[in-house]
Chain A
Amino acid sequence: MSLFDTSAYTIAKKVRSGELSAVAVLDEALSHIQAIDGSPGTLDGDWLTNGELLTDDEKNKVHAFITLTAERARQQAVSIDARVKAGEPVGPLAGVPLTIKDIFCVRGIRTTAASRILANFTAPYTATAVERLEAADALTLGKVNLDEFTYGSSTESSAFKPSTRNPWDTTRVPGGSSGGSTASVAAGEASLSLGTDTAGSIRQPAAFCGVVGLKPTYGRVSRYGLIAFGSSLDCPGPVSRDVRDAALMLSAMAGEDSRDSTAARQPVPDYVAELDKGVKGMRIGLSPDYMQITFPDPQTGELVTQHLPDEIRQATLQAAEALAAQGAEIVEDIPMPNTAYGIPAYFVISRVEAASNLHRFDGVKYGYRTQSDFEDLHEMYRKTRAEGFGLQPKLRILMGMYVSAAQYSEQYYQRALRVRSMIRNDFEAAFDPDGAYRVDALLTPTTPTTAFKMADVYGDSVLMQYADQFTVPANHAGIPGISIPGGLDADGLPIGIQLLAPDFMEETLFRAGYAFEQATADAVWRKQRPQVLR
């Protein structure tokens, strides 16, 4: 059995029936990780930055993990098998290997946020999403790499090196910030991974790694235990190899939480049961504003428009055709005029929240404290934070402090909040059942490019951020979005297509995504395997 070829759904079914033992699944996963993951990310791995000093062998590994929790997973597996044997109930994710983005607290396990400042932090409590996945009997294989504090789109800003590589081409980035999550699933190390999406941090790396990634509606999954980036934007969500597995995982972890008052009380449907309802009669929209990249010129501030690579455009249109063939009605030319302002508004809002969220890392209570001498409290703060934070947190703190300062807040932060409402209005107009367009979902490319080479854009924070142009509007609006594999480009790299739906209509995304999978089941590109599995 190879995890790459077996879905979480099937594993759980077989484990439940006793046909497959959870311990056997675990052994398979661990030996596969052993074979293809290479060295885990470590702080001492700094000298390996950009892979220049990596051995050729290490350069061809995935490096998804920071912390492997084989012992925890083994205890879980043994318990599941015992319960199956005794005829006792097991959960819907029984025996399914799971990785967790190392931004979620898990009791007793190191939780680093891929930052030096938390490198020695062991959480005394478990995040709600993780707690629910474990309660559903998933096997917790370990914590996987990410951009430091989730700040990035390539996983290269992790303080834990080597950073994760793209399983389809190990000279390329897996995307980010949930790069460890999508790479571990793409490489068949795990069936599922728990990621987070603040501007596209699940969907963009899912597109780059050729897996399914869902950003649920804001509040659909509890944020309790997720180390916050942009608290008003952050969404935990599933990474999986197919749509059904994402539906299965979301069902297990969604729902209200007494520890998160922003978690929605909305009942959680059985997403898997709804899957094969198909797309007949579903109105799916295409928008010209998602078929180009628009950004303000850094010098003049004027908006510059760039066309998308043709392959990405084509993949999106082909998906539309495939869905139309299944009975969906394609509605063209939906205006989403504020899409271009998503990134600038996101820059401001997320950084204000991030700077504030990072205040608690001060060397007083937990985590890193400067090892050098300090005269007073302020010097301890300064040194701790200067040494503990990497470049990305520092940039975000600087910008966040600046745009929320009393004299600038109106000009930047308050204005960005108004832009955010305008973006939300675009979606409301498109989805309005009594409006001009009445679409059930929008179909867009997930990203303007496929996976870029390692070190290509790292450090060019602006360019990296525009990788999120098509994904960030959903975070502003709070609506759900899914990225599903939609083909391969000429270099054999995965292309992601995105579906966006109204609040709490994840079901629509799953139905459309599943229908697309069915329609393209025999496509040639689906037979291709990632480089590390060839």
Chain B
Amino acid sequence: MTDYETVIGLETHIQLNTTTKIFCGCKADSWEQPPNTNICPVCSGLPGVLPVLNEAAVRKGALLAAAMHSEIRLTSYFDRKNYFYPDLPKGYQISQYDISLGGGGFLDLPMPDGSMRRVNIAKLHLEEDAGKTKYENGVRYVDFNRCGVPLVEMVTGPDLRSADEAAQYLIRLRQLLRWLGVSEADMEKGHLRCDANVSIREMGSTVLNTKTEIKNINSIEAVRTAINTEVERQIALVEAGGRVEAWTLDWDDALKRLKKMRSKETEADYRYFREPDLLPLKLDEAWRDEVLELLPELPLARRTRFMTDYDLPEYDADILTGDRPISEYFEAAVKAYGGDPKAVSNWIMNEILRMLNDLGLAADELTITPEHLAAVIRMVDAGTINNATGKAVLAKAQTSGKSPESIVEEEGLAQVSDDSALQAVIDQVLAANPDELNSYRNGKEGLFGWFMGQVMRETRGKADPQLTRQLLAKALKGE
């Protein structure tokens, strides 16, 4: 059997999280609003209305373009993409066609083998979203709330080689969008939508064969399943001597099935022409520089820096750059702590991430600051508290808002590290348990842990474990 390679290009639509829509003053976010309640004459396409471009959408689009290493064009144009559909109230979509805001670009994907896959960006432009259509009992209902939400459409080259890579691209893109703060990027809410162009070829070949386009893949998991399903279909078809046709397919996520929508041959001519209702989009260099100044260090660069500057394993660096707040939290904590960054990484990955997960918060929404975390780690290092107490103190600091130091102070959680006080407790424990002491002295050394536990119980966990171990060993030996 022939070995096949999968060739995938993704077309993504990204809703920008501006306050208002791209061409009118309606709110951009209509989540959970009743149909057709967040509309105005402009976005519902009444006769005589005109679009006025929202600068915030251009700003966010340009920031994204910069992060994708695209050229931000100082002059770009809006065009009309003409087609009839009930949820497109003007009968044309205002989009950018041949000279769009962003030119070229790429996104690097770290591969499991440590290599990078460079995914080229073929198109990056601004446009308006259309409304939504739904069918109920054979009736078509149209909701215009979504009309005019600013979108960036981004199309990759045919650079992805598996369903996993496609999923990886979306995961990285989603991370980037949130990192930049340009989109909520929630696929379930349609902030980030994806169509996939899929073809196969014999391994080693470089030709691009006829592709199919899969529409409506709206979760990472669906991207994997839909593409794999289509690749299997194409391989089976070719193996059976058939030929892949340029179909447009619809992914039904409930049935996990692809449905043929139409043949590409019948595709519409959108009769693009310049939108006469908008002036050319002219940006000056000062404006561009201002936007570029807002461009943060990108996740991948920060990930690499965490590995080199802090000597973190790739695994840690990846997790600690999962989102921008956690990466900033980590760096602030390292700075406040001053010691081994790996210790901070461990505390964040074990304690802080669990806490964030339980509370459903982002790192910048936590009550405990990076300085608090650093204080806790320092107290553990100094033996003032032990690890377990440290974790408990973090939890208390989060709920009470008090500093870790004051919690340790107020609740008397500092470890007993006074030799004589500890010695007294140990003597008391040994005296109270003569049977166990005998067994130990007769060779049952496994009881050491039990004695440690007794001492800890007596000191309510405050005993310095290292010192206790030392003193207890001597006492048990009768020294």
Contacts and interface: CB of A to CB of B under 8 A. Distances in A.
A295 B150 CA distance: 46
Interface in B67-95: 80, 82, 84, 86, 89-92
Contacts of B82: 355-356, 359, 404
Contacts of B50: 223-224, 259-262
B46 interface: yes
B49 interface: yes
Contacts of A212: none
B407 interface: no
A227 B278 contact: no
Given A365-B89, A413-B273, A356 B80 contact: yes
A258 B277 contact: no
Contacts of A226: 48
Interface stretch (A118-126, A328-336, A435-443): A118-126
A261 B41 contact: no
Contacts of B421: none
Interface in A441-455: none
Contacts of A360: 45, 47, 89-91
Interface of A: 104-105, 111, 113, 118, 121, 123-125, 127, 223-228, 230-232, 258-262, 352-353, 355-356, 358-362, 364-366, 377, 381, 401, 404-406, 409, 413
A352 B273 contact: yes
Given A123-B46, A125-B46, A224-B48, 16 more contacts: A223-B48, A226-B48, A228-B277, A231-B277, A258-B52, A261-B50, A353-B276, A356-B92, A356-B271, A359-B92, A362-B86, A364-B89, A365-B89, A377-B86, A409-B271, A413-B273
Contact of A362 (B41, B91, B140): B91
A108 to B, nearest CB: 14
Max count, chain A CB within 10 A of own CB: residue among B48, B53, B86: B48
Contacts of B86: 362, 364, 377
B91 A261 contact: no
Contacts of B119: none
A232 to B, nearest CB: 4
Interface of B: 41-42, 44-53, 80, 82, 84, 86, 89-92, 140, 142, 269, 271, 273, 276-279
Contacts of A113: 47
A262 B277 contact: yes
Contacts of B91: 356, 358-360, 362
Nearest to B24: A259
A364 B279 CA distance: 29
Contacts of A409: 271, 273
Contacts of B53: 261
B279 A261 contact: yes
Contacts, number: 101
A261 B52 contact: yes
Majority secondary structure of chain A interface residues (helix, strand, loop or mixed): loop
A111 B271 contact: no
A223 to B, nearest CB: 6
29 contacts: A104-B48, A111-B47, A111-B48, A118-B47, A123-B46, A124-B41, A125-B41, A223-B48, A223-B50, A224-B49, A228-B48, A231-B277, A258-B52, A260-B50, A356-B82, A356-B271, A356-B273, A358-B91, A360-B45, A360-B47, A362-B84, A362-B86, A364-B142, A365-B45, A365-B89, A381-B84, A401-B271, A405-B271, A413-B273
B269 A225 contact: no
Nearest to B86: A364
A261 B89 CA distance: 20
The 3 nearest A-B residue pairs measured at CB: A359-B91, A232-B276, A231-B276
B73 to A, nearest CB: 19
Nearest to B140: A377
Max count, chain B CB within 10 A of own CB: residue among A105, A364, A365, A381: A364
Contact of A404 (B48, B84, B273, B278): B273
A127 B86 CA distance: 25
Nearest to B270: A406
A340 B42 CA distance: 38
Nearest to B53: A261
Contacts of B46: 105, 123-125, 365-366
A356 B270 CA distance: 10
